[in-house]
Structure 1
Amino acid sequence: MNVSDSSIFDLAPVAMWIEDFSGVKQLFDRWRAEGVEDIRAFFREDMSRVEACSRAIEVLRVNRKTLSLYEAQTLEHLTSNLSTVFRDEMLDSHINELSALWNGETDFESMGVNYSLSGRRMDIHLKGSVLPGHEETLSRVLLTTEDVSERESARRNEIASRQYAEGLFSNSPVSLWVEDFSAIKDLLEDVRLSGVEDFRVFLDVHPEFVRQCMSEIRIIDVNQATLELFGASDLNTLLARQNEIFRDEMEKPFREQLLDLWDDKLHHHREVVNYALDGSIRNILLHFSVLPGHEHDWSQVQIALTDITARKKAEAYLEYLGKHDVLTKLYNRAFYTDELNRIERKSQRPVSVIMMDLNGLKQVNDQLGHDAGDSLLRRFGEVLEGVVSRPFSAARIGGDEFALLMPGSDAKAASAMVETIHELLHINNQFYSNAPLSVSIGWATSREGESMDALVKRADMAMYEHKRLSARDPLNPDYAKVSRG
Structure 2
Amino acid sequence: MKTFDATIFELAPVAMWIEDFSGVKRMFDQWRSEGVEDIRAFLKEDMTRVADCSQQIRVLQVNSKTLELFEARDLEHLVENIAVVFRDDMLESHINELAALWDGKTDFCSNAVNYSLSGRRMDIQLKGSVMPGHEETLGQILLTTEDVTAREDARRNETQSRRHAEGLFEHSPVSLWVEDFSQIRELIETVRSRGIIDFRVFMDVHPEFVRQCMSEIRVIDVNQATLDLFGAPDVHTLLLRQPEIFRDEMEKPFREQLMDLWEGKLYHQREVVNYALDGAIRHILLHFAVLPGHEEDWSQVQVALTDITARKKAESYLEYLGKHDVLTKLHNRAFFTDEMNRLERKPLRPVSAILMDLNGLKEANDQLGHDAGDALLRRFGEVLNGVVSLPNNAARIGGDEFAILMPGADQKAVTSMVETIRELLNINNQFYSNTPISVSIGCASSREGETMEDMVKRADMAMYDDKRAYYAGHSSIDVLASRPLPTEKAASTA
| Range into which the TM-score falls when normalised by the shorter chain | over 0.9
Give me the whole-angstrom Cα distance separating, in 2, the residues matched to 1:131 and 1:476: 119
Q: Conserved in 1, the CA contact under 8 Å of 2:438 and 2:480?
A: no
C-alpha spacing 1:330/1:258, structure 2 compared with 1 (3 Å): same
**Which residues in structure 2 correspond to 1:41-60 (within 5 Å)?**
41-60=41-60
Aligned to 2:188: 188
Q: Conserved in 1, the CA contact under 8 Å of 2:18 and 2:143?
A: yes
- 1:79 to partner: Cα distance: 0.9
C-alpha spacing 1:158/1:406, structure 2 compared with 1 (3 Å): same
- 1:360 to partner: Cα distance: 2.1
- 1:37 to partner: Cα distance: 2.8
Query: Is 468-477 or 68-77 further displaced after alignment?
Result: 468-477
C-alpha spacing 1:6/1:333, structure 2 compared with 1 (3 Å): same
- 1:479 to partner: Cα distance: 6.4
Give me the whole-angstrom Cα distance separating, in 2, the residues matched to 1:28 and 1:228: 58
Asked if residue 349 in structure 1 is aligned to residue 349 in structure 2, the reply is yes
Asked if residue 481 in structure 1 is aligned to residue 490 in structure 2, the reply is no
Aligned to 1:397: 397
SS of 2:124's partner is strand
Asked if residue 144 in structure 1 is aligned to residue 144 in structure 2, the reply is yes
Q: Conserved in 1, the CA contact under 8 Å of 2:437 and 2:481?
A: no
Q: Deviations over 1:434-466 (max 9, x none)?
A: 111111111122222222222222211221221
C-alpha spacing 1:19/1:479, structure 2 compared with 1 (3 Å): closer
How well do the aligned residues superpose, as a CA RMSD in angstroms? 1.8
**Which residues in structure 2 correspond to 1:88-237 (within 5 Å)?**
88-237=88-237
Aligned to 1:294: 294
SS of 1:264's partner is coil
Give me the whole-angstrom Cα distance separating, in 2, the residues matched to 1:482 and 1:466: 9
Q: Conserved in 2, the CA contact under 8 Å of 1:112 and 1:124?
A: yes
Q: Conserved in 2, the CA contact under 8 Å of 1:9 and 1:63?
A: yes
Letter in 2 for 1:160: Q
Scaled by the length of structure 1, the TM-score of the pair is 0.96
Give me the whole-angstrom Cα distance separating, in 1, the residues matched to 2:103 and 2:149: 29
Q: Conserved in 2, the CA contact under 8 Å of 1:330 and 1:394?
A: yes
**Which residues in structure 2 correspond to 1:23-42 (within 5 Å)?**
23-42=23-42
- 1:478 to partner: Cα distance: 8.9
**Which residues in structure 2 correspond to 1:64-103 (within 5 Å)?**
64-103=64-103
Aligned to 1:328: 328
Aligned to 1:415: 415
Give me the whole-angstrom Cα distance separating, in 1, the residues matched to 2:323 and 2:420: 25
- 1:477 to partner: Cα distance: 11
C-alpha spacing 1:455/1:59, structure 2 compared with 1 (3 Å): same
**Which residues in structure 2 correspond to 1:442-461 (within 5 Å)?**
442-461=442-461
SS of 1:483's partner is coil
Aligned to 2:340: 340
Give me the whole-angstrom Cα distance separating, in 1, the residues matched to 2:149 and 2:171: 31
Q: Deviations over 1:260-314 (max 9, x none)?
A: 1111111111111111222221111111111111111111111111111111111
Q: Conserved in 2, the CA contact under 8 Å of 1:469 and 1:479?
A: no
Aligned to 1:372: 372
Aligned to 1:243: 243
Letter in 2 for 1:351: V
Give me the whole-angstrom Cα distance separating, in 2, the residues matched to 1:265 and 1:79: 65
SS of 1:480's partner is coil
Q: Conserved in 2, the CA contact under 8 Å of 1:440 and 1:482?
A: no
SS of 1:292's partner is coil
Q: Conserved in 2, the CA contact under 8 Å of 1:108 and 1:127?
A: yes
Q: Conserved in 1, the CA contact under 8 Å of 2:291 and 2:301?
A: yes
Give me the whole-angstrom Cα distance separating, in 1, the residues matched to 2:109 and 2:482: 109
- 1:356 to partner: Cα distance: 0.9
**Which residues in structure 2 correspond to 1:352-363 (within 5 Å)?**
352-363=352-363
Q: Conserved in 1, the CA contact under 8 Å of 2:15 and 2:64?
A: yes
Asked if residue 466 in structure 1 is aligned to residue 469 in structure 2, the reply is no
Mind listing any 5+ residue stretches in structure 2 that lack a counterpart? none
Letter in 2 for 1:483: P
- 1:49 to partner: Cα distance: 2.0
Letter in 1 for 2:86: F
- 1:348 to partner: Cα distance: 3.2
Give me the whole-angstrom Cα distance separating, in 1, the residues matched to 2:76 and 2:452: 111
Q: Deviations over 1:17-60 (max 9, x none)?
A: 11111222232233333333322222222222222221221111
Give me the whole-angstrom Cα distance separating, in 2, the residues matched to 1:364 and 1:51: 100
Letter in 2 for 1:333: R
C-alpha spacing 1:158/1:277, structure 2 compared with 1 (3 Å): same
Aligned to 1:314: 314
- 1:64 to partner: Cα distance: 0.8
- 1:472 to partner: Cα distance: 2.1
SS of 1:220's partner is strand
Give me the whole-angstrom Cα distance separating, in 1, the residues matched to 2:8 and 2:482: 126
SS of 1:284's partner is strand
Give me the whole-angstrom Cα distance separating, in 1, the residues matched to 2:248 and 2:115: 65
C-alpha spacing 1:477/1:88, structure 2 compared with 1 (3 Å): closer
Mind listing any 5+ residue stretches in structure 1 that lack a counterpart? none
Give me the whole-angstrom Cα distance separating, in 2, the residues matched to 1:369 and 1:107: 101
Aligned to 2:264: 264
Letter in 1 for 2:449: G
Q: Deviations over 1:101-134 (max 9, x none)?
A: 2222221110011111122221100001122222
Q: Deviations over 1:185-239 (max 9, x none)?
A: 1111111111111111111111111111111111111111112212222222222
C-alpha spacing 1:23/1:449, structure 2 compared with 1 (3 Å): same
- 1:13 to partner: Cα distance: 1.3
Letter in 1 for 2:485: V
Equivalent pairs, count: 485
Give me the whole-angstrom Cα distance separating, in 1, the residues matched to 2:443 and 2:334: 21
Letter in 2 for 1:81: N
Q: Conserved in 2, the CA contact under 8 Å of 1:391 and 1:406?
A: yes
Query: Is 444-453 or 13-22 further displaced after alignment?
Result: 444-453
Scaled by the length of structure 2, the TM-score of the pair is 0.94
Query: Is 237-246 or 75-84 further displaced after alignment?
Result: 237-246
Q: Conserved in 2, the CA contact under 8 Å of 1:130 and 1:138?
A: yes
- 1:361 to partner: Cα distance: 2.0
Q: Conserved in 1, the CA contact under 8 Å of 2:435 and 2:479?
A: no
Aligned to 1:253: 253
Q: Deviations over 1:75-106 (max 9, x none)?
A: 01111111211122212111111121222222
